[in-house]
Amino acid sequence: MLTKTQHRAAQKRAREFLKRAGIVLTRDEIKNIEIADMGLGELETTGLELVVYINTDRCCAKELVLFPRQTCPEHRHPPIPHLNEIGKEETFRCRWGQVYLYVEGEATKNRKAQPPRQRAQHYTVWHEIALRPGEQYTIPPDTLHWFQAGPRGAVVSEFSTTSRDEYDIFTDPGIRRAPHVG
């Protein structure tokens, strides 16, 4: 759990990264930057910061901020049969910095990123896609993936079908996606 002071500091830092990427936010968007520490209290290594522009029954658009070497843990967006959904498809477009995306497929030798040591056993996909500003990649529904910022951090735009975080399945059973601030 993050303290209110840690939460505010992370929001301020995320704003600085967004500003470096040339992304302009409204006052409400700035105030509502979400800090997701995944329930681990290890924000510097595991988590991300988000701005959600829109999330409707058809589409979603977000900005994702990753601090230097910060990792969004391995997960997938499964089908949701009772909602008649096949799972979330998402496209990541790097805006600033560099991000290393790992998906199912042949393992990449000499990977640029490493998962946080204390949770490494929960990472199982190793096919690396390196994204620099202007590059993008689309992840099909129900595909295991994780990603990590390069040494300077990263800002990534996400365009997807409806986002339903509560249905995401993380490989690490200790992950809790909903943020809690004390």
Is the pTM higher than 0.75?
Answer: yes
Domain around 102:
4-170
Establish if 28 belongs to a structural domain: yes
Q: How confident is the model at residue 65 (pLDDT cuts 50, 70, 90)?
A: very high
Establish if 181 belongs to a structural domain: no
Establish if 50 belongs to a structural domain: yes
Please report which helix (H) or strand (E) contains residue 28, including its range.
helix 27-31
Establish if 179 belongs to a structural domain: no
Establish if 175 belongs to a structural domain: no
155 touches 20 (CB < 8 A): yes
70 touches 149 (CB < 8 A): yes
99 to each of 7, 84, 107, 110, how far by Cα in Å? 23, 32, 17, 16
- The residue-averaged pLDDT of 50-64 equals 97
Q: What does the pLDDT read at residue 178? A: 64
Q: What is the CATH number of the domain that holds 110?
A: 2.60.120.10
Q: How many domains does the chain have?
A: 1
